[in-house]
Amino acid sequence: QQQVKQSPQSLIVQKGGISIINCAYENTAFDYFPWYQQFPGKGPALLIAIRPDVSEKKEGRFTISFNKSAKQFSLHIMDSQPGDSATYFCAASMENAGKSTFGDGTTLTVKP
Amino acid sequence: EAQVTQNPRYLITVTGKKLTVTCSQNMNHEYMSWYRQDPGLGLRQIYYSMNVEVTDKGDVPEGYKVSRKEKRNFPLILESPSPNQTSLYFCASSSRHGEQYFGPGTRLTVT
């Protein structure tokens, strides 16, 4: 049973547009929800993360929206740029626990 | 520079020949993990460690072993590799508070 479901699998957006990636989780004990960005040939790197005590977190062009009752969270990339073209992973874990569960990833392509 | 290092970066081996992939971090992190990445399947956690001599299974532990004898090192051992273990492997470390730092990856091919 997959505990974190991510959609869409791939996404094509025009430069300047908004990219939206969604994730849904099963385990209500999760209390840390990060998004990682991965470029080809590199390891994933943390982009932005949220804890369930807030409904939204914004860092520059990147925003996480969190809906605790629906067990869903999403990444919004405003004014998408070709340099944002990468694979994005959502994840969920419990603080002070070593286990993490990742979504299957979304390949984002931003067309110039 | 804070980093996670893995070696080797690329490895081609044959079925049944024992191998070890090393992982080291210089950030004094308590937590370390191993993941495998396969197309369409995201990152799946193999094993994790919350401290020296403390390890536990992730979602896909079959066919793998780990050890944590020192805080900075967390090697991944394949005692008898099989072709279905052909994958891209990542080591990661973190403090207790969440953000994981990933290594550059090890691409393993088992023929």
With a cut of 90, say whether residue A10 has pLDDT above it: yes
Identify the pLDDT of residue A1: 56
Contact A54, A68 (CB under 8 A): no
> pLDDT digits over A30-57, tens only?
999 999 999 999 999 999 999 999 999 9
CA distance A46 to chain B (A): 7
- Whether chain B has a CB inside 8 Å of the CB on A101: the answer is yes
Q: How many whole angstroms separate alpha carbon B106 and alpha carbon A29? A: 32
Joined together, the tokens standing for residue B70 give: 């020192």
Identify the pLDDT of residue A99: 87
> pLDDT digits over A63-99, tens only?
999 999 999 999 999 999 999 999 999 999 987 778 8
Divide the 111 residues of chain B into consecutive groups of 10 and give the mean pLDDT of each group. 94 97 96 95 94 94 97 97 98 88 97 97
Identify the pLDDT of residue B98: 80
User: If you average pLDDT over residues A97-109, what whole number do you get?
Assistant: 93
**Partner-chain residue, chosen from B31, B45, B103, that has the shortest CB–CB distance to A43:** B103
| String of DSSP letters for A31-81 | -BEEEEEE-TTS--EEEEEE-TT-SEEEETTEEEEEETTTTEEEEEESS--
Contact B56, A98 (CB under 8 A): yes
Q: How many whole angstroms separate alpha carbon B6 and alpha carbon A59? A: 30
CA distance B18 to chain A (A): 25
CB contact under 8 A, A99 and B99: no
Going B71 to B74 to B75 to B81, the CA torsion angle's sign is positive
Compare all CA atoms of chain B with the CA of A50 and give the residue at the minimum distance. Answer: B98
Chain B positions touching chain A (beta carbons under 8 Å): 4, 31, 33, 35, 40-45, 48-50, 56, 58-59, 90, 92, 96-105
With a cut of 70, say whether residue A2 has pLDDT above it: no
Identify the pLDDT of residue B95: 87
Question: Which SS3 state, helix, strand or coil, does residue A83 take?
Answer: helix
Looking at chain B, which runs of residues are DSSP E strands?
A: 4-7, 10-13, 19-25, 31-38, 42-51, 54-57, 65-66, 76-78, 87-94, 100-102, 106-110
